[in-house]
Chain A
């Protein structure tokens, strides 16, 4: 491998870069989008009806996983799953959570785009994030 020359170049130490990363995180934590997301996430975690609706939907999804993968649900199973999903996502606290999450994602995407453009690497992809997070 060819050696690179680092003399005459001012290098930022890893601790300096990590400090800049912490400052970046602190600035992001102060944005209205992040604060709204934290509040919505807390309200969602505390809301018993929303948690029960989520649990019911996830349990049904889990029990039908094999059939879902084969796309082999009966009409009744499909309807039941849709009903449970709807019962979950129509909870006001859940809708608020999704809205706050989407607004924070928009901000994070703008920041990620700025980072990617400047450093010449796709930030999310480089950090190993797939479409499923």
Chain B
């Protein structure tokens, strides 16, 4: 069932979202993400997809105890390529900065409420 927010709560949530998106950390992250998706950086995008696929394949094979050395070497090569790719590393760094800023904002909210807002907002339980 969808939770209906009262108008003042909705307004405060919208204002927070607007401010977060206009913060330097998020603007930089959005710009880096847009750059990653530009056609001229298709190689970076492809590299990330290859890395993600290689990681998923390796996890599957680890579960079945069927990993071979060439696959581990392939993964390491992809990881090195990612670490040397400027566009990807810029995106990763700006995303980390956005996450750090979001944690500061959550601390601000939580301090006033006396509860960890993020814990209450979390859907998963043990």
Q: What residues of chain A have their CB less than 8 Å away from a CB belonging to chain B?
A: 1-2, 4-6, 9-12, 14, 16-18, 20-31, 34, 104-115, 118-121, 123-133
Report whether B108 and A25 are in contact in the complex, using a CB–CB cutoff of 8 Å.
Answer: yes
Report the separation of the CA atoms of residues A131 and B23 in the bound assembly, to the nearest whole angstrom: 29
Asked whether B119 lies within 8 Å of A129 as measured between CB atoms, the reply is yes
A21–B121 touching, CB < 8 Å? no
Taking the closest CB of chain B, its distance from the CB of A13, in whole angstroms, is: 8
Cross-chain contact B108 with A22 (CB below 8 angstroms)? yes
Residue in A4, A30, A120, A130 whose beta carbon sits within 8 Å of that of B31 in the complex: A4
A24 close to B122 (CB less than 8 A): no
Which residues 36-91 of B sit at the A interface, judged by CB distance below 8 A? Answer: 86-87, 89-90
Once A12-B22, A25-B109, A121-B102 are accepted as A-B contacts, the answer to whether A129 and B122 lie under 8 Å apart by CB is yes
| Chain B residues within 8 Å of A, Cβ to Cβ | 2-3, 5-6, 8-9, 11-13, 15-24, 26-28, 30-33, 35, 86-87, 89-90, 93-95, 98-99, 101-106, 108-110, 112-113, 116-126
Asked if A12 and B19 sit within 8 Å, CB to CB, the answer is yes
- The reply to whether B22 and A106 form a contact with Cβ atoms under 8 Å apart is no
Q: What 9 A-B pairs are tightest by C-beta distance, nearest first?
A: A112-B121, A127-B118, A108-B120, A110-B3, A27-B12, A124-B122, A12-B22, A25-B112, A20-B19
